[in-house]
Amino acid sequence: MLTKRIIPCLDVKDNRVVKGVNFLNLRDAGDPVELGARYSDEGADELVFLDITATIRSRKTIVDLVRRVAENVFIPFTVGGGIQTVEQIDELLRSGAEKVSVNTAAVTNPKLIAQAAKRFGNQCVVLAIDARRSKTRAGRWQVCVKAGSEPTDVDVVEWAVRGEELGAGEILLTSMDADGTLAGYDNELNRAVSDAVNIPVIASGGAGKLDHLYDAIVQGGADAVLMASITHFDNYTITQMKEYLRDRGLPMNL
Amino acid sequence: MVIDYSVGNVRSVCNAFRHIGCEVELSRDPAKIEKAAGLVLPGVAAFGYAMKALGSAAQPVRHAAAAGKPVLGICVGHQMLFDTSCEYGPHKGLGLISGNVVPIPPGQTVPHMGWNLVELPEDMDLFADLRPAKHFYFAHSYYAQVGEGQVKVAYTDYGSPLTASVQKGNIYGVQFHPEKSGKQGLQVLENFDGICRRNV
């Protein structure tokens, strides 16, 4: 049986890890390579690096970063942020990333998912969705693009289903409403998406306490939980999280 | 020495060996294959593609294996140790271990991707200091059905038992990715390095 996964997320801006609240008010959280190596040593199951600047100039920087991370991190890691072409994906995978996540480019050009899945395998392609609760439709969420700054008319659950059809191997589902609040994941969102797709869903946004992780898996149906604030700022260690989940009966890699 | 297929991500395997202080060279040169203390077939691409990319290096690898040199196959590299695979049509493998590579039985999500527990038998020296069981990182859709013969096998449970590792004398295979399996993965590579050193 596969274990449930603990995935620290490193948002990278100008070669530093940062973390904000609701995608704003960023705080410095350290050096990405150092922090990545520390999480790898501490027993994290995977890592996610998101280039949140994602400009043309930062593109080369992120490839260099991936190379340096790969020399120090011996668990699978995903890289995302501003990826637009299959060639960029190829370069990141060759540089040592296990998977890449696509977000804005997949919405504007869904074929990118299909092309990448065909060339590198579904397991390499993570569809990242930034979801915001719809103000007009109760119990629905809208897909936001461009680092969450631009809401679209696309419905999150429908987009997740379409993403799976196109060949995404995994969904990285971030609740913008919960992000950085430490108030718990949006498990209504997690459940809606995890019930609609057959691929793993990574719950993201809102982790603040250990029981939040448990709830995302059990109530939300997530296969993995992603967190940033609570690990970067030393609230909990990876081991503490894993032991807690194991003691509540979940299969963990410990 | 890590065999270079010039495809996919072989960097991670090299990084991991370097991290544990093991000298590693990426090459497919027959002279270097003959001189190396041990050989690693990394896990990249689909079976047919990888065999084709291995190409002329296949024969020197077979010779080295027959001569007793430690060989470690990782993921697709592990699958290539067997007779055949049916991934995207029938393909011949290196035939170093009897058996065939077949799809993971239906009923489970494919690819089998993530951390799964491997029961580590007492007599497999690749897993010294890791017994009785450890989690390793898997990412695959096919697995090796081991044939008859003097082969040691470790399994992982994914609805049904899947071959996670094999050993036939000096020939070792791991379906999981030790280079991506944290501390326990690095320990497997250290153990292989130790096996190579003792063999020289």
Instruction: Point out the residues of chain A with pLDDT beneath 50.
Output: none
Decide if A41 is catalytic.
no
Q: Do B186 and A5 touch (CB under 8 A)?
A: no
Answer with the residue of higher pLDDT: B9 or B195.
B195
Predicted TM-score (pTM) of this structure: 0.91
Which of B87, B91, B112, B179 is the catalytic position?
B179
Decide if B140 is catalytic.
no
Query: How distant is the Cα of A223 from the closest Cα of chain B, in angstroms?
Result: 10
Q: Indicate the residue of B114, B183, B186 with minimum beta-carbon distance to A5.
A: B114
3-state secondary structure chain B: CEECCCCCCCHHHHHHHHHCCCCCCEECCHHHHHHCCCEEECCCCCHHHHHHHHHHHHHHHHHHHHCCCCEEEECHHHHCCCCEECCCCCEECCCCCCEEEEECCCCCCCCEEEEEEEECCCCCHHHCCCCCEEEEEEEECEEEEECCCCCEEEEEEECEEEEEEEEECCEEEECCCHHHCHHHHHHHHHHHHHHHHHHC
Q: What is the pLDDT of residues A212-225, one digit of tens each?
A: 999 999 999 999 99
**Does the pLDDT at position B8 exceed 70?**
no
pLDDT averaged over chain B?
92
Q: How confident is the model at residue B149 (pLDDT cuts 50, 70, 90)?
A: confident
**Does the pLDDT at position B126 exceed 70?**
yes
Using a CB–CB cutoff of 8 Å, tell me whether A76 touches chain B: yes
Q: Which residues of A touch B114 (CB under 8 A)?
A: 2-3, 5, 45, 200, 223
Which of B75, B87, B112, B190 is the catalytic position?
B75
DSSP secondary structure code for residue A123 in this structure: G
The answer for A 234-253 residues in CB contact with B (under 8 A) is 253
ipTM of the modeled complex: 0.90
Answer with the residue of higher pLDDT: B4 or B166.
B166
pLDDT at A164: 96
Distances in Å between the Cα of A225 and the Cα atoms of A141, A180, A206, B82 are 19, 14, 10, 37
Q: What is the pLDDT of residues A92-151, one digit of tens each?
A: 998 999 999 999 999 999 999 999 998 888 889 999 999 999 999 999 999 999 888 899
Which of B91, B112, B140, B177 is the catalytic position?
B177
